[in-house]
Amino acid sequence: MRPFIEDESFRIQGLRFIDVLPRLDDDEALLRHCQEYFDTDALRLPLPFRWCLRKPGIYGPLIVQAVRRFMGMLSGQFMGGATPDEAMTTIESLRRRDMGFSLDILGEAVVSEREADAYQEHYLKLIDEITPRLQQWPSLQRLDKVDGTRGPRLYLSLKVTSLYSQINPLDVRGSIEGISGRLRPILLAARRNRAFVCIDMEQYAFKEIILKCFKTVLMEPELVDWCDVGIAMQAYLRESERDVKEMIEWARERGTPVTIRLVRGAYWDFETVIAKQQGWAVPIWEEKPQTDACYERCLALLLAHYPTVRTAVATHNIRSLALAMVLAEEFGLSVGQFEFQMLFGMAESLQSAISALGYCLRIYVPFGEAIPGMAYLVRRLLENASNQSFLQMGVSQEYDPDELLPPPCTSAVDATSAVALGTSVGNDGTGSELLPGFRNEPLFRFNRAEERQQFAAAIDEVRSQLGEAYPLFVNGSALLTGSTIESRNPARPQELVGAVAAADAAHVDRAVEGAAAAFIDWSALGMEQRAHLLLRAAARLRKRRARFAAWEIFEAGKTWREADANVTEAIDFLEYYARQAIHLGSGGRLDLPGEQNFFGFRPLGVGVVIPPWNFPLAILTGMLSAAIVTGNTVIVKPSSQTPVIAARFVRLLHETGLPAGVVQFLPGAGGTVGEHLVRHPNVHFIAFTGSEAVGTRIIELASKLAPGQHHIKRVIAEMGGKNAIIVDSDADLDDAVVGVIRSAFGYQGQKCSACSRMIIVGTQYDELLERLIEAARSLKIGMPEEPGNYMGPVIEAAARKRILGAIEQGRKVVRLALHVECSVVGSGYFVGPTIFSRVPPDSDLAQKEIFGPVLSVMEANTLDEALAIANHSSYALTGGFYSRSPANIERVKREFQVGNLYINRPITGALVGRQPFGGFRLSGTGSKAGGPDYLQQFLNPCTVTENTLRRGFAPSL
Ligand code: NAD
């Protein structure tokens, strides 16, 4: 264990290697991974070791044997066996040492309802099978008596997230229903069999659901008077003291005690990384002494409230253990009225000491297969290796006794004040290297009731504004015209979202003329002034973000998270381009004696912005803000499916103080108003995002010189994709299934970045496909304004018809593995997740963009084959790779030809500044939205050189 602890890079590499090991069945793969992980210059391993790795012919079998033995030893140390029988042997040996147990069946990631059923089944079976065996044990006063009466023999620990695959912090009620449907039978079986069940606490995102679920189920008539049940609470959370108080209050009202297992918390790294990545307040105490102090406060609270609650003091920390003993004595608690708990394989000398002192000590014993057990094992190793861990500081030989002194922080901080709505806190590295001062707008976390209520209130407010009329904006005047575009809710087509005035050719001419007039003053303003206008617009949008998101729900059929992400992206574009414009505005100089050189930019002139409907706010805002901040004036022709959101954004810009004529708003049919704009001789550029067919048509039209036109029109075109995710033979399949599902079916597959091809390498095809099908089948489909739904409708009737047509065509030639029928959902344009299996790489299914929830799965024997299939496309937008082979990851980075490549994560959701977005081939002209060189496309570069030498005299530099 020592090297893990002492060398950071070896520790990381070692943990990563351990993580992939259970997936390496064959020796060749194991050896190859050994070489890839450990024969690297970065690690500086001793030369003899590296030399052995390089001679696999001689040392290979030895290395394989040693690694497998090491793995066995590790699992043996922290896990109580692979099967119930092995676990039985473990708990029997604990009992011989006067120690109790709590069994936990490993299996954390549940991606489908079928897997959740299986997890429930395991627990029910375990209770049935093991209880009679335990009854034969001779009684042990210390362990078998609770409060002087006979207590349960079988103790179980349970992760409720494994009981429901669609758990969703947004949908607390639905999640509780989903979990309790499977939890209730387990609890009833436990009660019948006199077993004890403790609910584990997991990631912060699920805390509210877990606590509420616990309280809800235990108030049900069949369970309200049952006391053999408990829940873990984590002292590393800033909110834990408040939660403990609420739990005590609840237990008092219930009238029957429950046990609280007080732990510090095992997801420290995870919670910190996720919060920092997302720009959220870190929910846990960041310094170990703060957690220690919180643990002690919670401990005192709990022990003081015996018998309302019983306490399981789950810690390996000597100071906490000692404090518990002292407090128990102070409160007059005897053995049997509280207990200690420790983890199997951790701090064994401490375990023996506590047991020798006569206390009741229960050991948490996880058991199960190696693959589902990996997450647990890695958590234990991380804990053992963390330099903040008490095990390292307190139990090792060299601990500093001062570490055991009272923790410096003893006052509780109001946690809620630190987690303000949508505030960006401590998100180091989120784009700051790319552009100083820029931070991505954090998404709503949705795990706080206030956030959800704010969002729900915005939906209600917007609902009351549906059906309004929206005018054109030409030269600062609002114009209603004779014809309108009716925007309808795709989830409920009878609902009119808004009636937007439609322009005609005459309006186009007036708008271009007005934009040309406005260009004179607007282009003369400095970049900085224009940038400040963008920043003001960002601030205004930020204030109204929930309302704008609600409009997306009604007009574009986006679910809550998708809608929120689109609005934050729009804010990001405004913030990012404003800063970049300021940066560009200063230009560049290179002065020599007698010669001044200036390099700068000039705006192009009048432009047209043509966005698609699928990111109706973000893409519109991105193209529009880039165009105007650089000094151009524009005419916006919104998509006819989402003109209301566009109208509202243009209105917001004008409210912000945008001069009349800088942005004209001209809704209308693409083929008439759109084309008229593109052909117009006074238009200088077209910023377009949409389909390949329309994009290439615009490029063609724009390339023709109209009479009187003295410039070449520039076209910035972002187009379609047929994006693939390759899953390598050593990939983490839990991650891969979740990532592919999110990429393929998020927003109903209607993202240009969506995954529509999945390529599975090696022999895992059937297993992975099966899991994927079940995961897709489990997704909740319904009205997008209901927060529990994962999928809403597709954008319009024509889209639904087109997608269903493609499915019909596809099933004539390829096996349809899944098509979820949506007829029950209502009159909306719903299409369920659809998966085709063993799709030929040349077929239409694998080559044509369908732009809906349709996934083609393909098989490849090798990574060579997989890459060839992935690159065999006329598009090159996004791509993904799930793998734990460092060499394969490097290779894919080089050879996968896409604009945006994602490794071991979903392929949608690019963030401004962090993942500049855009593709090549027929996916686009190669520009990168939200990237460092995007603005230059809206500018003409120019150089000014002045000879400052006059009669041999030059000003000094
Ligand atoms: P679309 O091409 O049908 O329409 C896009 C826009 O072009 C709309 O505003 C439409 O009114 C307008 N338009 C249509 N015909 C026109 C014409 N002849 N002249 C001028 N304008 C015309 O695309 P869509 O259905 O709105 O969006 C879906 C497509 O967009 C998909 O192909 C998707 O991959 C692509 N997309 C690409 C990106 C990217 O960044 N690469 C992002 C989002 C969407």
pLDDT value at 755 more than 90: yes
Tens digits of residue pLDDT in 304-350: 999 999 999 999 999 999 999 999 999 999 988 999 999 999 999 99
The predicted pLDDT at position 412 comes to 39
* Whole-angstrom distance, CA of residue 766 vs CA of residue 630: 53
Active site residue 115: no
Q: By 3-state DSSP, what share of the chain in percent is helix, strand and coil, each rounded to 5?
A: 45, 15, 35
Q: Which of 623, 694, 704, 873 to mutate to test the pocket of ligand 1 (most atoms within 8 A of CB)?
A: 694
Instruction: Judge contact between 274 and 427, C-beta under 8 A.
Output: no
The predicted pLDDT at position 380 comes to 80
The predicted pLDDT at position 5 comes to 45
Angle 353-357-361 (CA atoms, 0-180°, nearest 5)? Answer: 75
Tens digits of residue pLDDT in 535-573: 999 999 999 999 999 999 999 999 999 999 999 999 999
Give the pLDDT band (50/70/90) at residue 422.
very low
Ligand 1, CB within 6 Å, residue ranges: 610-615, 619, 639-640, 670-671, 674-675, 678, 689-691, 694, 697-698, 718-721, 752, 849, 851, 877, 918, 923-924
Tens digits of residue pLDDT in 497-513: 999 999 999 999 999 99
Instruction: Judge contact between 586 and 633, C-beta under 8 A.
Output: no
**Residues 113, 718, 785, 859: which is the catalytic one?**
718
User: What is the DSSP track for 67-124?
Assistant: HHHHHHHHHHHH---SSHHHHHHHHHHHHHTT-EEEEEE------SHHHHHHHHHHHH
The predicted pLDDT at position 6 comes to 63
Gap from CA of 216 to ligand 1 centroid (Å): 48
Q: Which atom of ligand 1 sits closest to the CA of residue 612?
A: 26
Nearest CA to ligand 1 atom 16: 670
Tens digits of residue pLDDT in 929-947: 999 999 999 999 999 999 9
Please tell me which residue, 946 or 415, carries the higher pLDDT value. 946
Tens digits of residue pLDDT in 584-643: 988 899 999 999 999 999 999 999 999 999 999 999 999 999 999 999 999 999 999 999
Q: Which is nearest to 372 in space by CA: 197, 69, 162, 68?
A: 162
**Residues 34, 294, 752, 755: which is the catalytic one?**
752
Give the pLDDT band (50/70/90) at residue 49.
confident
Mean of all residue pLDDT scores within the chain: 92
| Residue range 50-74: mean pLDDT, rounded | 90
pLDDT value at 426 more than 50: no
Q: Helix axis angle, 172-192 relative to 207-217, nearest 10°?
A: 50
Residues 20, 25, 27, 29: is their CA dihedral positive or negative?
negative
The predicted pLDDT at position 336 comes to 85
pLDDT value at 752 more than 70: yes
Active site residue 294: no
Gap from CA of 693 to ligand 1 centroid (Å): 8
246-260, 421-435, 436-450: which has the minimum mean pLDDT? Answer: 421-435
CA 872 to chain CA centroid, nearest Å: 29
Give the pLDDT band (50/70/90) at residue 373.
confident
Residue % of the chain over a pLDDT of 90: 83
Q: Give me the half-sphere count of Cα atoms (radius 13 Å) on the Cβ side of residue 824.
A: 5
pLDDT value at 581 more than 60: yes
The overall longest dimension of the chain from CA atoms, in Å, is 112
pLDDT value at 398 more than 80: no
pLDDT value at 405 more than 80: no
The predicted pLDDT at position 434 comes to 52
Q: Which of 614, 692, 912, 923 to mutate to test the pocket of ligand 1 (most atoms within 8 A of CB)?
A: 614
Q: Which atom of ligand 1 sits closest to the CA of residue 851?
A: 31
Most confident of 175-179, 380-384, 414-418: 175-179
Nearest CA to ligand 1 atom 30: 690
**Alpha-carbon distance values, 478 to 469, 551, 636, 666, 783 (Å):** 11, 21, 14, 11, 33
pLDDT value at 107 more than 80: no
Gap from CA of 855 to ligand 1 centroid (Å): 21
The predicted pLDDT at position 420 comes to 30
8-12, 254-258, 411-415, 613-617: which has the minimum mean pLDDT? Answer: 411-415
Spatial neighbors of 77 by CB under 8 A, at least 6 apart, are 345
Instruction: Judge contact between 138 and 150, C-beta under 8 A.
Output: no
pLDDT value at 389 more than 70: no
